[in-house]
Amino acid sequence: MKDQNLKQIDNFINNKFLINFFYIFFLISLFLIYLAVFYHPLVGDDYYYKEFVKTNSNFYDYFVERYSNWTGRFSQIIFSFWVFSSDLNLLIFKALLIPLIPIIFNFFLKKIINLNLKLISVEFIILFISLWFILPAINETIFWISGSIAYLIPIFFSLIYLGLFNEKKINKNILRYIFYLVSSFLAGSSHLQAFVGCFVLSTYFIYINYKKENGNFFNFIPFYTLFLFGGLILILAPGNFNRLDYVEDYNFVATIYKSFLFITSSIFYLGDIQSSTIYFLIIFLLFFLFSKKLSYKLFFNLSNSIWIVAFASSLLVVIPAINTVSTRLIFFPILFLTIYFLKLIFYKSDIKQNFKIKNIVFYFLIISFFLQSFLGAISNYVYKKENTLRMKKIESAKELSLDQVFVSHYTIIPSRYTYIQTPEHDQAFLEAMSKIHNIEIKFDKTLPRSKNIRKDIKYFFK
């Protein structure tokens, strides 16, 4: 009887209908993420860029001003101009953002981790959700439009560039070749942290191919050269040095102290113990599910540990701006660190090994993913309504030629998919909006962030 019950449980866990049902559940969760992106209102810099594009409708003028006075990030300048030049472009960008993520992830598995998995498979979904749960500050780096342009887009070009070094033969198709050349340039010129990490990695890959004395060394040189050229243009941008003038000046001892705290706490998500605990639990879980044989020598193998060097380098490069550090600045380093662990896990693995615990993990992750996505979509919907009400108040006051208007604090408690500025930054934003609209904007006496969306869901059917 006991054996029969165990067999029934096994059959249930491995039931194809149940697995297919959870595939659909996963796709629904992705749709909820799309809704969370769609509903997420413009925040802070989004309005600034939108207004700036309006006053600099000529791309050349916009590019020169941004490069000279604010940033050398080519992709950020190009995409911010395109996205904020019209509401249609903004909608297209949002619509493409979520399909782009699983596509990037599939490319990442194939070209960086050397795994060839179906987009809809138990293993792919486990890895996708695992990485989704451990990426830091996704509210700022994915769901916030300006943040996704500054972080997600550089990841896209960086992975394409690094993936080239996994090619045995470079495809000479003219359109694809040009795409790789452009991607290499943008990988170098899109974000300093991404450039430094990719510089460490691609220089190592170039060296390895040179030592092997194979033809690929010369095939990689055009891409590597354009990557370095992009990095040089990024680093030498006058806007980078102008931005440093905004950084509060601390003495040498204080800088060393804060840098030490930043670097040592980076793998602990800058003190967010809950997130860091989830990170290490998931890494341990992936070792358990997929690693077949692990040797301590792998931890010190140069082809693996070079990713640790990339992790450390991408942290060290932000030291000059240590006083403006935020969680999103560990987005690239954590990705490099995760690749290091994945290289260890999948060095020798049986990706298709079938045991019931893997399916149980699969079900659990999808349920968690769905709940997080559902909460994110609902939270951002309410956030959007509050934001629309605020902007309507400002526009109405402007039309009535009022000298002053009072707006409420945002009451929504943010989900992991919601980027809300701190009250201090929100105040600075309203002051900037006051100058744009020529009207004094102040907060009324409502309390900030007091709406718990979970309670609304709880009492929905009451």
- Sequence-ordered list of residues with C-beta below 8 angstroms from that of 219, at least 6 positions apart, any chain: 169, 170
Helix (H) or strand (E) holding 388: helix 356-399
User: DSSP class of residue 113?
Assistant: S
pLDDT at 175 > cutoff 80: yes
pLDDT at 192 > cutoff 70: yes
Give residue 456's pLDDT: 63
pLDDT digits (tens, 9 = 90+) for 203-261: 999 999 888 877 778 889 999 999 999 999 999 988 877 776 665 555 677 778 888 88
More confident: 461 or 435:
435
Contact present, 278 and 133 (Cβ < 8 Å): yes
What residues does 443 pair with on adjacent strands?
Answer: 407
d(C-alpha 419, C-alpha 144), whole Å = 6
Tell me what percent of the residues of the chain surpass a pLDDT of 70. 89
> Angle 87-111/122-134 helices, nearest 10 degrees?
120
Torsion of CA 131, 412, 25, 107, to 10 degrees: -30
Sign of dihedral through CA atoms 251, 254, 260, 265? negative
Give residue 118's pLDDT: 87
pLDDT digits (tens, 9 = 90+) for 429-458: 888 888 877 888 887 766 666 666 665 655
Give residue 302's pLDDT: 78
Give residue 451's pLDDT: 63
Give residue 127's pLDDT: 95
d(C-alpha 318, C-alpha 236), whole Å = 16
Confidence category of residue 415, pLDDT binned at 50, 70, 90: very high
Query: What's the mean pLDDT in 93-115?
Result: 90
The closest of 31, 40, 29 to 417, measured between CA atoms, is 40
What residues does 291 pair with on adjacent strands?
Answer: 349
Give residue 154's pLDDT: 95
Beta strands in 350-397 (DSSP E): none
Most confident of 111-120, 235-244, 363-372: 363-372
d(C-alpha 325, C-alpha 310), whole Å = 19
d(C-alpha 150, C-alpha 75), whole Å = 8
Helix (H) or strand (E) holding 440: strand 440-443
Beta strands in 10-169 (DSSP E): none
Give residue 88's pLDDT: 94
> Angle 122-134/16-39 helices, nearest 10 degrees?
30
CB atoms within 10 A of CB 334: 23
Query: What's the mean pLDDT in 265-294?
Result: 89
Query: What's the mean pLDDT in 85-105?
Result: 91
Most confident of 24-28, 101-105, 212-216, 351-355: 24-28
Contact present, 335 and 138 (Cβ < 8 Å): no
User: DSSP class of residue 409?
Assistant: P
Tell me what percent of the residues of the chain surpass a pLDDT of 90. 49
What residues does 407 pair with on adjacent strands?
Answer: 443
Give residue 352's pLDDT: 67
Q: What is the mean pLDDT of the chain?
A: 86
Give residue 459's pLDDT: 53
More confident: 350 or 98:
98
Helices assigned H by DSSP within 112-214: 122-134, 138, 145-147, 153-164, 174-189, 192-212
Give residue 2's pLDDT: 52
Give residue 449's pLDDT: 62
Query: What's the mean pLDDT in 338-349?
Result: 88
Contact present, 123 and 353 (Cβ < 8 Å): no
pLDDT digits (tens, 9 = 90+) for 3-52: 555 455 555 566 788 888 999 999 999 999 999 999 999 998 898 898 88
H helix and E strand count, the chain: 21, 2
Confidence category of residue 413, pLDDT binned at 50, 70, 90: confident
d(C-alpha 95, C-alpha 14), whole Å = 35
pLDDT digits (tens, 9 = 90+) for 383-399: 999 999 988 888 888 88
d(C-alpha 211, C-alpha 130), whole Å = 36
Lowest mean pLDDT among 31-45, 122-136, 342-356, 385-399: 342-356
Residue 112, token pair as written in the block = 């960086």
Helix (H) or strand (E) holding 107: helix 87-111
The closest of 396, 222, 364 to 282, measured between CA atoms, is 364
pLDDT at 201 > cutoff 90: yes
